Chains A and B, each alone.
Chain A
Amino acid sequence: MRASSTWLAHLRAGGTTPWSAYAISTDTSHHFDQLDDRLPGAQQLEVLRRLNEVGRPSPALVQRVLHADLVGRGRGDLGLVGAVDGAGARFGTPPVDPADLPAAELLRVLTGLLAEDVVRAGVPPQPGPRRPRFRRVRYRLHGDPWLAVPMRAELTRCGLPPGGGRAVTYLVGRDLAGMLADAWTRRSLVDGAATWVEWLRKLQTSDRLPPRADLTRQARWWRKRVGAENVRIVTDPALVPQILGVDFPLPHPPVLAADALDLARRVSPLVGLFAGPGRREELMLRGLVPRLVGTPGDPIGVPERFRAWVEERARRVHEELTSGDYAVLGDPDLVLGASQVGATPQGGSPSEPAVLTLALRTLLENDPGSRMDPAAGTEGA
């Protein structure tokens, strides 16, 4: 009986012994009820072992993990070092010790499974629209879409859709570092994005702000279309209900921990792949994000090496806002956001091991037949 097959059976039974230790010490006369002819890749096997460390996956989840695809580019199914022979040993990617696999390789298994869960779970029903109001509010709400889109949706639901003759366009924003984080957050969830650091590096290299975080550029665009007298920049999102004169609160966008956001970023393109056109945004924003909101950890922050650039760009925005060319509601100093930039100097960037742990826990939580071990799997989170 081959050690690799008995290790698979050991993992199926909830075992957590790493392959290298198992291959040396195993007594292959152990009896296991179920032995597989075809061994999954080292990636799937190691994910199952790590799941066993974090909790008790159900038989159905075990089966899903062992048959999971490796999504995205990268190496194919890898063999176990010491367990591959024949042509398999001479050709193909060399076998590995699964314990040596980097977190990113294991996340290729997990993100595919999580994306399947997101698509399968769908989204909760939307609260119904309220009765149309007799009172009209003529407005358009743009600016930072992470802030503006949920506000607009709530206003519409409450019978106050945007638009109308002589509507005033309000461009809502906040401190520039926060708007950059918002732009990357929305892009990561809805469109697909590079890592936070890589994205910032490109912006810094080209010295430009993304359109979603560039309030004055948006203001110029709108002025051409609706006239300068109909455009206002709002630097404090909390002012929006008062400005529009509505008597109900407007929603704040969810705040995700950096690790949770990075996990969502990795899952997002796969949700698009599995769900088809036009469904990704809703599944991500109303399906996955609410489930990740409670994840502990700091939200993303601007890393030290980009702070000088962000502060410089914030000063330029501030100068434009105070030049008298724009109608500004709220304190223009808020765009500087001195207290926000680098507010979390040590945290605020995702860590791959923590993202891996979060993915394992989320997968277990999604599966009704599985259970978590409360004492395990918190390292790195």
Chain B
Amino acid sequence: MAKRVLLHVGTPKTGTSYLQDVCFLNRDLLAEHGILYPAERFDAHFLAAIDLMRLPWGGLEEQAVGAWDRLAAEVRAFDGTAIISHEILARATPAQTQRALASLGHGSGAEVHLVLSVRDLVRQIPAEWQENIKHRTTTSYADFLAELQEPTRDGTIASWFWAVQELPDIVARWRGGAGELSLPASQVHLVTVPPPGSPRDLLWSRFVEAFGLGGVPLALDTDRTNVSLGVPETYLLRQVNRRANVEIEPEDYRELVRELLAHRTLSARTASPRLALPPSAYGWVSALTATWIEELSSEGYDVVGSLAELQGAEPSAATLANYADPDAPDLEAVVDAATTSIVALVGDVRRWRANEVRLQEEIAALHRELAKARMNPLYRLKEAVYRILTGGRLGRRLLDAYYRARGSSSRLA
């Protein structure tokens, strides 16, 4: 039974991918220090999460059957500290959180700690909208914001957003009410994402503190970072989605639109204006965040960083004046982004064509080798016998009988 389980359940867009990648790449080193990061593949905890929450996920769910139980069994079998991390766990229902905690040994010997990394809504709202756009959504920013403010939250976007972003509710669902199996406040750790302009490694040092990784000489180089798009680039991608959703299959979208176009091409245009909260939404966000801070402060959770950082940066006059509306961007900048995209895609087609030519040459070489092999007299004799036998009914039966006797799978059909 693991003595201690650090269960990191989100939230999305708070550096979780980086943390998970560092843990995955250093899992052997962590094990040497008595820390288990149970993963055979980088997305093992994601698969476990969709299995726990029974979430269909574009076909990936079929690879996830039993993934949570296997993960939990590995944790229970380990004698030390275990780390589990995936941001979509923030969305788990009370029944699922109770099942998860019990499976990890909560209430039967293991000390489970809930870790939640949190960032201000001023940055989370535009980041989540952009993430939606990178997953084929065509919803405008204005409609996205309007849906978030709908009290019923019954839209697809709002139900997901608040399930993974409303901090007091996430903690309440994972703590599990007031019963004796409720997770104590002292075992809840909130890691706040530092405000813009903070030292680059400040968030990482907070993760290190929260997860107790200080004594482990981790290699921190990873290639999995979440890239962001500017305003004209996001607008362009949304227009692409309108057509792509009709004409491009999901697997092609993932590889060609999200990876090639968005991540590798458009994200490189860092001089574009960045997505931001619209000036009109600051009042609503500020009032909402104040209630969250009040609730979280009153519970006495361990905070790594400061809950005040959740309030988000006050917009300066210049910020408000320079706000770039992603629903009505500078069209020249959009055309420029589109031109960049076309050139990049043509370059990629050129690489594919070069690859195709190389493969054709390899095939031709193999054909030549095959023809050479067929010049072998024994092969030619076998071929002639086969041709004669398959030309008549009796011959075919003989050949079939031979195949049966030999136990070959190449019997005549």
Contact = CB atoms under 8 A, between A and B. Distances in A.
Contacts of B397: 134
B396 A136 contact: yes
Interface residues of B, number: 45
B63 to A, nearest CB: 7
B390 A165 contact: yes
B152 A136 contact: no
Nearest to A167: B413
A94 interface: yes
Interface residues of A, number: 44
Nearest to A74: B159
Given A162-B413, A163-B413, A272 B56 contact: yes
Interface in A231-272: 269-270, 272
Interface string A163-180: 111010000000000000
Contact of B93 (A77, A138, A162): A77
Contact of A272 (B62, B94, B95, B169): B62
A369 interface: no
A92 B292 CA distance: 11
Contact of B169 (A37, A70, A91, A269): A91
A112 B54 contact: yes
Contacts of B64: 273
A41 interface: yes
Contacts of A31: none
A25 interface: no
A274 B56 CA distance: 10
Nearest to A137: B413
Interface string B94-119: 11100000000000000000000000
Given A75-B154, A93-B159, A161-B413, A273 B54 contact: yes
A316 interface: no
A29 interface: no
A70 B168 contact: no
A24 interface: no
A124 interface: no
Interface of A: 37-38, 40-41, 67, 69-77, 87-88, 90-94, 112, 134, 136, 138, 161-165, 167, 192, 202, 205-206, 269-270, 272-277, 280
Given A71-B56, A76-B173, 19 more contacts: A38-B94, A38-B177, A38-B179, A69-B54, A69-B96, A72-B54, A72-B56, A73-B156, A76-B91, A77-B93, A93-B152, A93-B153, A162-B413, A164-B412, A165-B390, A272-B56, A273-B56, A276-B66, A280-B62
Interface of B: 50-51, 53-56, 59, 61-66, 91, 93-96, 151-154, 156, 159-160, 162-163, 166, 168-169, 172-173, 177, 179, 245-247, 291-292, 295, 390, 396-397, 412-413
